[in-house]
Structure 1
Amino acid sequence: MLYAYHCDLTPDGDGGLVATFPDVPEAITGGADRAEALAMAGDALVTALAGYVHEKREIPAPGAAAEGRELVAVPTVAAAKLALYSAMRAQGITKVELARRLGVSEAAVRKLANPDHRSHVSQVEKALRAVGRSIRVEVTAA
């Protein structure tokens, strides 16, 4: 799954813009201009999706593209952690089981699976392979 979500920017009445995500309604923020609103939108999106993990909810899939919407991508490591969480959830793999597969402690897996904990992408990539997934990075024009 491509972890990039469509964002609506609408005027807020004070000359700024409000950023919302139809697929992740918890992610709401704004900014004084387009650039600031989009920067804040990226942070709000990651925070909202981390909330889904903490609440043990399914990560929503991004909807179809629509004209007039900005596309906001989740940063690479955060997207990899979301993919790991989703794969574990779908397959019923516990943190204890993933730790066994990786040959590490459950505490190490808890950190690795925590969206708020900084992890190296190679560690998350190894965990993804242990649950039958892989990561692919796509570079596009900004």
Structure 2
Amino acid sequence: MYDYPIIVHSEAGHFWSSCPDIPEAHSAGDTISELLTNAVDGICLALTIYVDKGRSIPPASPVGEGQHVVHLPAQAVAKIALWNTMREKGLRVADLARLLEVSHPVAGRLVDFDHTSKMEQIERALAALGKRLAVSVEAA
């Protein structure tokens, strides 16, 4: 659902990427492997733009021919789910803070992709919004 396809471009012996689903996401690297590692950070950084602008985060489209896939960390996926649920319900961070009985900064960190949150806190926030976090393991 949030394994985003990226398009890899080569220029002067270096690589850079674009993401059709998250046009704000770009990354670069000296090798494709480095680029794919950096693409995770590039997408997560771009997701902060969506939160800052109050926009829902789009799901990933199917991977097309010649595209590479970027698998986001579980915590980033959980934060996307929390943010999109908040958007669906018309809630702001202040509303989440009141609902969880925490300060605004604490609630804000739950949808801050630069901050490492405890999964239990994200689960608690999702539960308060009527959602449950489910984790699955798939073959690589």
Answer yes or no: is the 8 Å Cα contact 2:97–2:103 preserved in 1.
yes
In terms of mean alpha carbon deviation, does 27-36 or 94-103 score higher?
94-103
Whole-Å separation in 1 of the counterparts to 2:137 and 2:32 = 22
Q: Secondary structure at the match of 2:110?
A: helix
Whole-Å separation in 2 of the counterparts to 1:110 and 1:42 = 21
In terms of mean alpha carbon deviation, does 90-99 or 66-75 score higher?
90-99
Answer yes or no: is the 8 Å Cα contact 2:56–2:83 preserved in 1.
no
Quote the offset at 1:85 in angstroms.
1.0
Change (3 A) 1:57 1:96: closer
The percent of aligned pairs where both chains have the same amino acid is 37
Give unmatched runs, 5+ long, in structure 2.
none
**Residue number in structure 1 paired with 2:126:** 128
Answer yes or no: is the 8 Å Cα contact 1:42–1:74 preserved in 2.
yes
Whole-Å separation in 2 of the counterparts to 1:141 and 1:71 = 15
Quote the offset at 1:52 in angstroms.
0.9
Q: Aligned partner of 2:15: which letter?
A: L
**Residue number in structure 2 paired with 1:95:** 93
What's the TM-score once normalised by structure 1's chain length? 0.87
Whole-Å separation in 1 of the counterparts to 2:7 and 2:117 = 30
**Residue number in structure 1 paired with 2:26:** 28
Q: Does 1:46 align with 2:44?
A: yes
Whole-Å separation in 2 of the counterparts to 1:16 and 1:141 = 30
Quote the offset at 1:37 in angstroms.
0.9
Q: Secondary structure at the match of 2:6?
A: strand
Quote the offset at 1:123 in angstroms.
0.6
Quote the offset at 1:24 in angstroms.
0.8
Q: How does 1:61-80 map to 2 (within 5 A)?
A: 61-80=59-78
Whole-Å separation in 2 of the counterparts to 1:78 and 1:104 = 21
Q: Does 1:3 align with 2:5?
A: no
Q: 2:137 aligns with which of 136, 139, 142?
A: 139
Answer yes or no: is the 8 Å Cα contact 1:59–1:86 preserved in 2.
yes
What's the TM-score once normalised by structure 2's chain length? 0.88
Per-residue CA deviation, residues 37-82 of structure 1 (Å, 9 max, x unaligned), is: 1011111011111211112122122112212211112211121112
